Chains A and B, each alone.
Chain A
Amino acid sequence: MGLRIKILSGFLILAMMLLIAGLWSIYEMNSVGTSVQRLLDDNYTSINAASKMSEALEREDSALLLLLLGKWQRGRTILSTADSTFNEALEMARQKTTIPGETTHLDSVKSTYAAYKKLWERPIVDTAKQGDLDWYFDHVHTSFLQVKAAVNNLMTLNEQIIYQTASELHNRANRAVMPGIVAIIAALAFTLIFNYFVNYYAVNPIVRITRGVKQFVERRLPFEVAIETKDELADLASAIKTLSALVHMPEEEL
């Protein structure tokens, strides 16, 4: 193999090592970015929705107490607003369903909320239920706690995924940095080896050829330089040897 190809292969290897490490780092960095975006888009939105649902539930509970006290106008207004907030948040969470098992939690929220809503959809003021705290604690509050638990489960699931994704992000960031570090160390080691080979197989033979030519010119010593490899330098040494033999020949033999 020619010296040119050997040296070129060295540079190509070096470039390939750095290029692939660079590309990989870019890919991993991009993945980190995507993961952060996904974290914000999906899980954070779901947590936010669950939080809104929880808040709406609290307001509905307060409104129900107002209804029990006979304050129909205020109670129904708060209930209506909180109900639309809850439904909007539920829809928002449903649109961002990304985690396995999240649909089950959402179905649970929906069904428990439907059961809860059934309790206060019908009139309370001016009926037997007005002022009936036993009815409130036995039915309404129990149902309220069930919806609240379902919403909390949804929130916990998303929080767990956020924690997992954050841990994964740490790993991903490490994966984005490590190829660069490995490539730098490998490139340094490779440069040392490359330098050694160039010195041993290119520079040293050139020095020996130069010394051989000098000895031939100055002291007429025969040009005897052995080159280990079969490349351009071996051809050069062979050509100089032929040339020196020609110079030694008497003129009539040429």
Chain B
Amino acid sequence: MRLHVVLRYVGFVLLCNALFLLIAASISALKAEASLFPLLYSALVCVLFGVFPAIFVPPSKHITNNEGLIIVVASWLLSCFAGTLPYILWGGEFSFTNAWFESVSGYTTTGSTILTNIEALPLGLLFWRSATHWIGGMGIILFVLSVLPSTGIAGMVLYRSELSPLARENFRYNASSALKTLLTVYVGLTALETVALLFCGMNLFDAVTHSFATIATGGFSPRNASIAFYHSPLIESVIIFFMVLSGIHFALLFATVFERSKKLWQSTVVRYYIAVLVVGAVIMTIDIHGSQFQEWSQALRYATFQLTSVGTSTGFANADSSIWPPLSQVLLLLFSLQCACAGSTSGGIKMDRVVLLWKALGKQIKQLQHPRAIIPVRLNGRHIQEDAVSASVLYIAIYLFLVSIAAILLIALGVDPLSAFSGSAAATGNVGPGLGTVGSVGNFSHIPTMGKWILSLAMLLGRLEIYGLLVFFLPPIWKTKANHQSLDPALREFV
């Protein structure tokens, strides 16, 4: 492992963060806020740490898979650390633990907060908070790669390291085209939602920050009451529409808009995703009608918003769902485990794996009936390899195990079981709000310090799809030497 090469690429990531810190600092400067210095100094530290390796280390023609993986995980960890700087320099509610929690929650697009009074923060810091969502939503490395000029093979390795195999599934392009696709959809959706929210009467700052949070499926709002602040069914409808879009594989959205492809409508995963959201919203509407809302239209409005928000791992709130009937709460919990499609900015187990799980279950039942039959698992008409199905099922098992472990640890720290389990599921799934005391209108400020660190780890594990972070901390990856043999076989021919 060549540390200098890793430092060079991680430096670029810090420079990307510095750019957004400078934008936030400009907002503070315009509004003459006291957050100008914390933001400027954080930007300076990021610039210095980013520029220095670029000065010292000459560009590298290639990087190994292990180096790619280390760069990706180190970029996430260092970005989260860089993200804490403006918070701890600002002070107020931000102790180091709180700042770290808020930063990790931002970058991993979780949207859980420790702030009890969000509106007390200056606009510059609020912008930075939302910007962490936007940087993290697309994937820090992918974001940097799409901005940097050609990075050649190294870029391809980083692209493969950042994007999970499941997310790569629908990208039938090379790395460079895939990055352009991602960036086009990401920026396009953000711009469209900003304009739509402006038309709905939101001010520019709120429209931009809410768009950042929606498209990244984050959930940070600059308002204490989140979306409930606006009391606007129109704003809620716009946000629901963009939350649903942000939960779909970006390549499918790109193909539908720019290539007039019908893949989106033919995709089993997307159909399942939409169907599950519709069925869930209907059940929840029936459940909360009468007990919570007397009018059907009101019940439909709040059920659809809350379910879509949790089901896409966004985490906005337009009502206090922690006081809803038990069936609705269980539904929200299930949706916060499952979330949306791979290849989107959404977190959680992902629809693709859930669909594969059902298919594997179906296959197993058929296999019991016809023991000698060869029954393939098919998705979108394509045969799925046995090991891919097993990997998905194993991932779900490990995911649920981690959620349970985090919940048990939280309970041991004195958190009530409902808040502990839902909080842990919401953190691992990068959803944001859970149930109980960490519900849609609550926050995580009362969670014990150790609990906040556990939840931060859960958020990172969820965002890096577990294996990435685990492999990072295993010694073998650091010991491998950068030689031709350690390169990805597909890349050797280029070197």
Contact = CB atoms under 8 A, between A and B. Distances in A.
Interface string A4-21: 011001100100110011
A17 B52 CA distance: 13
Nearest to A230: B58
B91 to A, nearest CB: 4
B71 interface: no
Nearest to B4: A200
Given A171-B92, A182-B85, A9 B55 contact: yes
Contacts of A6: 55-56
A132 B113 CA distance: 66
Residue in A6, A179, A230 whose Cβ sees the most chain B Cβ within 10 Å: A179
Interface string B1-35: 00110010000000000000000000000000000
Interface string B36-68: 011001001100110111011110000000000
A193 B52 contact: yes
Contacts of A136: none
A60 B486 CA distance: 94
A179 B37 CA distance: 10
Contacts of A186: 45, 48-49
Nearest to B85: A182
A190 B58 contact: no
A6 B58 CA distance: 12
Interface in A121-138: none
A175 B41 contact: no
B444 interface: no
A18 B41 CA distance: 11
A201 B56 contact: yes
B89 interface: yes
Given A1-B55, A24-B37, A193-B53, A17 B92 contact: no
A27 to B, nearest CB: 8
B299 to A, nearest CB: 43
Contacts of A21: 41
Nearest to A12: B48
A178 B91 contact: yes
B45 A9 contact: no
B88 A182 contact: yes
A174 interface: yes
B58 A13 contact: no
Interface in A197-249: 197, 200-201, 228-230
A163 interface: no
A193 to B, nearest CB: 7
A10 B52 CA distance: 7
Contacts of B44: 16-17, 20
B493 to A, nearest CB: 24
B48 A175 contact: no
Q: Is the interface of B mostly helix, strand, loop or mixed?
A: helix
Interface residues of A, number: 30
Nearest to A228: B58
Interface residues of B, number: 23
Contacts of A5: 55
A182 B248 CA distance: 40
A21 B48 CA distance: 13
Contact of A229 (B3, B51, B58, B90): B58
Contacts of A174: 91
A13 B47 CA distance: 10
B41 A179 contact: yes
Given A6-B55, A6-B56, A201-B56, A178 B49 contact: no
B4 A13 contact: no
A13 B48 contact: yes
A24 B7 CA distance: 28
A37 B446 CA distance: 36
Given A186-B49, A193-B52, A229-B58, A178 B4 contact: no
B48 A171 contact: no
Given A10-B52, A197-B56, A229-B58, A182 B45 contact: yes
Contacts of B56: 6, 10, 197, 201
Contacts of B88: 178, 182
A178 B89 contact: yes
Interface string B74-89: 0000000000010011
Given A193-B7, A196-B4, A13 B37 contact: no
Interface in B72-122: 85, 88-92
B41 A182 contact: yes
Nearest to A10: B52
B7 A17 contact: no
Interface string B146-174: 00000000000000000000000000000
Contacts of B41: 20-21, 24, 179, 182
Contacts of B89: 175, 178-179, 182
A175 B122 CA distance: 15
B116 to A, nearest CB: 15
A57 to B, nearest CB: 38
B55 to A, nearest CB: 5
A228 B85 CA distance: 35
Contacts of A194: 52
Contacts of B37: 24, 27, 175, 179
A229 B49 CA distance: 20
A150 to B, nearest CB: 31
B48 A17 contact: yes
A16 B4 contact: no
B236 to A, nearest CB: 36
Given A17-B48, A182-B41, A229-B58, A197 B91 contact: no
Contacts of A230: 58
A9 B54 CA distance: 11
A20 to B, nearest CB: 6
B172 to A, nearest CB: 37
Nearest to A200: B4
A160 to B, nearest CB: 16
B4 A197 contact: yes
Nearest to B84: A182
B4 A190 contact: no
A197 B2 CA distance: 12
Contacts of A200: 4
Contacts of B45: 17, 182, 186
B151 to A, nearest CB: 18
Interface in A153-212: 171, 174-175, 178-179, 182, 186, 189-190, 193-194, 196-197, 200-201
12 contacts: A5-B55, A13-B51, A20-B41, A24-B37, A27-B37, A178-B89, A193-B7, A197-B52, A197-B57, A200-B4, A201-B4, A229-B58
- The 7 A-B pairs of least Cβ separation, nearest first, read A174-B91, A197-B56, A13-B48, A171-B91, A178-B89, A186-B45, A9-B55
